[in-house]
Amino acid sequence: MQEHINKDVEDHPVDPYLYSCFKEKLTLPPLPAEEEQKLLKQIEKNFRVLLLPWILTTTNYEDANFLEIGCGDGKYGYYISEYIKHYIGIDIRKVSIQSAQDLLRDRSNCSVLLNDGLSLEKIKDKSQQFIFSYQTFIHMPDESIILGYIKEILRVLAEDGVAKIQLLGPFHKKGYRIEWIKLGTLFPNNEADSKVKWLVKKVFLKILRFVPMDFIFPIFRKNAHHNPWGSFGAFIHPSKIIELVNENDSYAEVLPSFYGSSAGANTYGIYWLIIAKKEAARPFFVTLG
Ligand SMILES: C[S@@+](CC[C@H](N)C(=O)[O-])C[C@H]1O[C@@H](n2cnc3c(N)ncnc32)[C@H](O)[C@@H]1O
């Protein structure tokens, strides 16, 4: 892994540590104010699905510390920090940290920190009741980085804390592969589908009327899913992570991540990893999204 780090630092001397998956889309182009507002509104909607039910169903959330790994420009922190005691966002990119600091300037309960991309060294042991990471682990280029972070999450997670981390499934990279599709997600869409695709879906649904709508079937695929932020990183089988978490006397489970990109919505290609020190700490609503 050291080799990989040195190579990336050479390629991108601006940042202390960058990932191959981010090479092409290292910084986002600045958006016009109107677009920026639209994006903020979209993030608010995401927040209401992915985070708010979890926060509100956690006991004493007002006194809780919240850590976000890969906070980007801090838009989730903007909404999260209204509910909890203290929010920390960490990210490897200086440009993200600067934007997040700008956005959260007036929030006295927020800190945004540049990290080394590998560890949570600035965070105290057992200090975080909430740990969240969205669209970030899916870019991490090797298994060892993901496992290293999981160990760090176990170190900083409070005894009553819960982590919700989005992970990449095996189906995203280019190349012949099998993907799993739920019949119920195959409804033809007049606007988005080409005529052929629309017809295929319609026929398919008719033929398969004898199976339940949550029937999952394999399809053969060649092209990679589109990712506007860069490319997809390493796939690590969730059972490896669960094993690591269990070895550390903690609880983990993996759920499909449906909300968001079409890749996540239609296939079992993106997961939520839920980690808790005790199973009882895991509120039901952490499972949404
Ligand atoms: C696609 S953006 C998502 C940002 C934010 N979570 C959101 O959903 O709006 C991924 C972010 O993760 C950061 N990132 C990538 N690898 C990271 C790592 N190893 N440690 C910390 N941050 C990382 C990137 O710099 C980037 O800001």
Residue 72 falls within a domain, yes or no?
yes
d(Cα 77, Cα 276) in Å, to the nearest integer?
A: 21
Residue 70 falls within a domain, yes or no?
yes
What interhelical angle do 238-247 and 143-156 show, nearest 10? 40
Q: How far is the CA of 158 from the centre of ligand 1 (A)?
A: 23
Kindly state if the Cβ of 70 falls inside 6 Å of ligand 1: yes
What pLDDT band is residue 21 in, cutting at 50, 70 and 90?
Answer: low
**189: amino acid identity, one letter:** N
Residue 114 falls within a domain, yes or no?
yes
Q: How far is the CA of 70 from the centre of ligand 1 (A)?
A: 3
Taking only the tens place, the pLDDT of each residue in 252-274 is 999 888 776 555 555 667 889 99
58 and 146 within one domain: yes
What pLDDT band is residue 6 in, cutting at 50, 70 and 90?
Answer: very low
List the domain range (segments joined by +) for residue 181.
Answer: 177-221
Q: How far is the CA of 214 from the centre of ligand 1 (A)?
A: 32
Q: How far is the CA of 25 from the centre of ligand 1 (A)?
A: 12
Indicate which residue's Cα is closest to atom 10 of ligand 1: 136
Q: How much is the average pLDDT of 196-221?
A: 88
214 and 93 within one domain: no
129 and 77 within one domain: yes
238 and 122 within one domain: yes
237 and 278 within one domain: yes
CA of 68, closest atom in ligand 1: 6
200 and 236 within one domain: no
For the ranges 28-42, 78-92, 223-237, the maximum mean pLDDT occurs at: 78-92
Q: How much is the average pLDDT of 28-37?
A: 78
CA of 133, closest atom in ligand 1: 6
Q: Is the pLDDT of residue 160 over 80?
A: yes
Q: Which residue has the tokens 């589109």?
A: 226
Q: Three-state SS for 173? A: coil
156 and 92 within one domain: yes
Report the b/e string of 17-28 with b at 16+ CB within 10 A. bbbbbbeeebee
- Enter the tokens of residue 162: 């819960």
- Enter the tokens of residue 93: 């990119």
Taking only the tens place, the pLDDT of each residue in 79-111 is 999 999 999 999 988 888 889 999 999 999 999
Residue 260 falls within a domain, yes or no?
yes
CA of 230, closest atom in ligand 1: 1
Indicate which residue's Cα is closest to atom 24 of ligand 1: 70
80 and 217 within one domain: no
Q: How much is the average pLDDT of 157-186?
A: 86
Residue 226 falls within a domain, yes or no?
no
Q: Is the pLDDT of residue 287 over 90?
A: no
Q: How far is the CA of 190 from the centre of ligand 1 (A)?
A: 34
Choose which residue among 21, 136, 137, 261 to substitute to test ligand 1 binding: the one with the highest number of ligand atoms within 8 A of its C-beta.
136
Distances (CA, A) of 265 to 121, 191, 271: 34, 17, 11
> Number of structural domains, the chain?
2
Kindly state if the Cβ of 140 falls inside 6 Å of ligand 1: yes
105 and 46 within one domain: yes
Kindly state if the Cβ of 141 falls inside 6 Å of ligand 1: no
Q: What is this structure's pTM?
A: 0.86
Q: How far is the CA of 188 from the centre of ligand 1 (A)?
A: 33
Geometric angle at alpha carbon 13, from 10 and 19, rounded to 5°: 70
What pLDDT band is residue 142 in, cutting at 50, 70 and 90?
Answer: confident
268 and 199 within one domain: no
d(Cα 116, Cα 92) in Å, to the nearest integer?
A: 6
* 16-25, 29-38, 74-83, 84-93: least confidently modelled range: 16-25
